[in-house]
Structure 1
Amino acid sequence: MNIASKSIRYLNQIHLNPKFPQNPKHPFNIKSILPSNFSSTSYRKRLNRRNLAASKPTLNEPQFHKAISHLLPRFTPQDLYNLITQQQDPLICLHLFNYASNQPRFTHDTTTFHITIKKLGAAKMYPEMDRIVESVLSVSDQSFGSEVLYNSIIYFYTEGRMLSKAVSVYKHMRSLKQMECRPSIRTYNLLFAAFLSRRSNSYINHVYMGTMRMLFKNMVDDGVEPDVFALNSMIKGYVLSLHVNDALRVYHQMGVVYDCRPNSFTFDYLIHGLCAQGRTCNAMKICGEMKEKGFVPSGKSYNSVVCAFALEGEVDRAVGWLWEMVENGRLVDDITCWTVVDECCKRDRCGDALGLIEELQEKRVVDRRGYKKLRHELKVNYGELCDRNGMKNVVIHMEA
């Protein structure tokens, strides 16, 4: 017997028993005797359906009929395209598209499909957009469509986190014989950007990297020349999936195989990936090449280098890179500051750590909140060590 039937039996017994105690100050409440999860699931489902129905936009009938009145009796796809372009309400655009579909002697072309998909996609009406896309993909004519149309579909699918549908459209493009419909560098860059923006853990990084590798291979095999964005996407993807050697391989091929020059993002991805693996020597080499080409490392790269040197015990080099970072106008984060201070104290250099904290405040590298936080952490973690080094009064002063 399930919970619902037991509760109903209990309620029936209460209803038939006149001696059931009643408190006038606290009247009987059914909710007080029902289990907390009784009918709550079905109620939430009904409530969600009602909210969803209430949130759906309703068609503005007068505006819709007014728009139809602007169409000639035998309107062309260009007339429909111009009319949909003028509409602000995406639901009216959808109904205009459906109205035209039901008219005899009218056939949609690439322009009417494209403008309707753009209107629905921009309004995030993805289910409605998906039905229009299915109509596009079901057209048997191999010459139907355009690269711009398919790229727009891929873009809105990626915006709606429907990566599998975006890849399906890409595969459809590759199956078409017409060159104007086949994937271009724009298509691949849209997919690369989508896969890189959806990463949240190492497992997803590895899975997505396999797909990106397949896409890159197809791009090269089809004769599409990769640009710096595509190559940087591969480098970033390899770094995120912890395949830094593959990232270095792509970097060294940029000027030789693909005739493409690296930019500041190329070097920043590599420096961060190398420092994350403790390969500071390789990171320094890449950093030197970066400076030779006139680029300045980003704040993320500088913070990675400083932390890497500090964790390896080379505190002086870490401090040197930290001040270079400040001179180049890059922001030093709190983690980097504490990492350097912490490593100084671990090597029995509390005096240097205290001096660094004071200098960071004097040069406005850290604000007052960050300054107090650093001093408090130093007191909590290394108070006894500072006392043994004759800095008891200084440490006590930190509590102020």
Structure 2
Amino acid sequence: MTTTTLLRRLLLLGANPADALLTGRLPFSTSSRRTPHRFRRSRRNPNPKPPSPEAVSAAIATLPSRLTPPLLTYSLSSVSDARLLLPVLTHSLRLPTFRPDPGPFLVSIKRLAAADLYADFDRACALAFSLLPSLPSPGPLLRSALYFYCQFRRLGKAFHVYTLMRASADPAARPSADTYHALFTALLSRGGGDTMVHYMYMDTVSALFRQMLEEGVAPDTRALNVLVKGYAQSLHLNDALRVFHQMWPVYGCDPDALTYSYLVHGLSAQGRTRNAREVFDEMRGKGLVPTEPACNAFVSALAMAGEAGEAERVMWDMVRTGRVVDAVTRRAVVEELWRSGSRDDADRMVREMEEKGIVGSAERRALLRSLHDEFGDDDLDVDGRGRSTK
């Protein structure tokens, strides 16, 4: 069953535009045969060999004769081999004294997920969902199942749990901000850093966000950060800025360092250095420090735009905060200084980086010699210590 089919069930729970948009725009299937090869994720730890019948019998024999839900929960948490959890749980369901309770299922799915036993985890969840109408307080169980399905990258299963949460009669089991954050993150984690993949999924994320608002769930900074990140990585920078400017006036959430970093990185990647500088200056004015990828992108964008002096200033500002740009970015700044005719500044910058321990002598020599090779300056000599003698 595809994720699109699962999401169509949302229409049964309340037809509204966000529901319709969700069902029509989710462009992927949970079937691996229909997933592009480069996006497939092989299972990290395939289910090992099942336990022997003797081990299963021994584990069942340790169960108390009068098996209550708390005793069953304790017994499952005490089982040493996670492979025995599902057989013990299945055996307990067949006992005439069994009373439905979310505790044993919750312990089982958490331990199975921690052991990376997806097949057993999925069966345990299916057993719990089959008894869902008779389970009291299923909220923690559903939230854990959705979280772990997202961790396993089984988005079809995760959205199925989401529909169960929306249909639950228990208000405590309804989707929360954490639920939507997990779904947003799982959707945008597909495809790694591929801009086109993020572009493809952002319509779905936007529709899910509107549904979140319609459900009366107040977004927090984490959820809004995921939106900003998704828009920035898919190069919808105007939409990212719109969400950013709405964070406090509309949603009452303060932007944090990640919010600014996503914007600086996205604006720099698009070559919008003026906007990136405005966001960067606002962030620094609040005492926030950008992430290293944002620093690298911003400094590189300034250097490529011919603003080598500003790029150097930002680079040293970041060094004072403990952020060091990578070798590619350092090279871009030095090359732009050299290209613009500020050769003394380029040489000074290389020496200062060495003095501060940012570059070693080998990188310094390689950098200066590469400048000589690239720009063909016959007047540039590099001494034995790797310094320009010009």
Distance 1:262 1:142, change over 3 A: farther
Greater RCO, 1 or 2 (C-alpha within 8 Å, sep 6+): 2
Unaligned runs of 5+ in 1: 1-51
The C-alpha deviation readout for 1:122-147, integer Å capped at 9, x for no partner, is: 11111122122222333462765522
Partner of 1:303: 296
Partner of 1:191: 183
Shift of 1:68: 3.3
Residues 1:312 and 2:305 are matched in the alignment = yes
Residues 1:238 and 2:227 are matched in the alignment = no
Question: Would you say the 8 A contact 2:273–2:301 is kept in 1?
Answer: yes
Shift of 1:307: 1.3
Shift of 1:237: 0.9
Higher deviation after alignment, 358-367 or 85-94: 358-367
Question: Would you say the 8 A contact 2:72–2:104 is kept in 1?
Answer: yes
Question: Which of residues 52, 71, 95 in structure 1 aligns to 2:63?
Answer: 71
Shift of 1:65: 4.2
- Taking the aligned partners of 1:352 and 1:289, their CA distance within structure 2 comes to 28
Question: Which of residues 246, 257, 260 in structure 2 aligns to 1:253?
Answer: 246
Question: Would you say the 8 A contact 1:344–1:350 is kept in 2?
Answer: yes
Distance 1:375 1:136, change over 3 A: same
Unaligned runs of 5+ in 2: 1-45
Question: Would you say the 8 A contact 1:188–1:219 is kept in 2?
Answer: yes
Q: Report how many residues are paired.
A: 342
- Taking the aligned partners of 2:280 and 2:132, their CA distance within structure 1 comes to 53
Residues 1:93 and 2:85 are matched in the alignment = yes
Aligned amino acid, residue 167 of structure 1: F
Q: Helix, strand or coil for the counterpart of 2:302?
A: helix
Aligned amino acid, residue 125 of structure 2: V
Greater Rg, structure 1 or structure 2?
1
Question: Would you say the 8 A contact 2:364–2:386 is kept in 1?
Answer: no
Residues 1:340 and 2:333 are matched in the alignment = yes
What is the aligned-residue identity percentage?
37
Question: Which of residues 277, 282, 286 in structure 2 aligns to 1:284?
Answer: 277
Partner of 2:156: 164
TM-score with structure 2 length normalisation?
Answer: 0.80
- Taking the aligned partners of 1:83 and 1:142, their CA distance within structure 2 comes to 22
Partner of 2:347: 354
Question: Would you say the 8 A contact 1:202–1:240 is kept in 2?
Answer: yes
Question: Would you say the 8 A contact 2:86–2:124 is kept in 1?
Answer: no
Residues 1:394 and 2:382 are matched in the alignment = yes
Aligned amino acid, residue 197 of structure 1: S
The C-alpha deviation readout for 1:157-193, integer Å capped at 9, x for no partner, is: 1222212211121122112232122111121122223
Partner of 1:136: 128
The C-alpha deviation readout for 1:296-355, integer Å capped at 9, x for no partner, is: 333333322221111111111112222222222211210111111222333344443333
Question: Would you say the 8 A contact 2:347–2:387 is kept in 1?
Answer: no
Higher deviation after alignment, 78-87 or 364-373: 364-373
TM-score with structure 1 length normalisation?
Answer: 0.78
Aligned amino acid, residue 336 of structure 1: T
Partner of 2:144: 152
Shift of 1:232: 0.7
Higher deviation after alignment, 133-142 or 370-379: 133-142
Shift of 1:56: 1.3
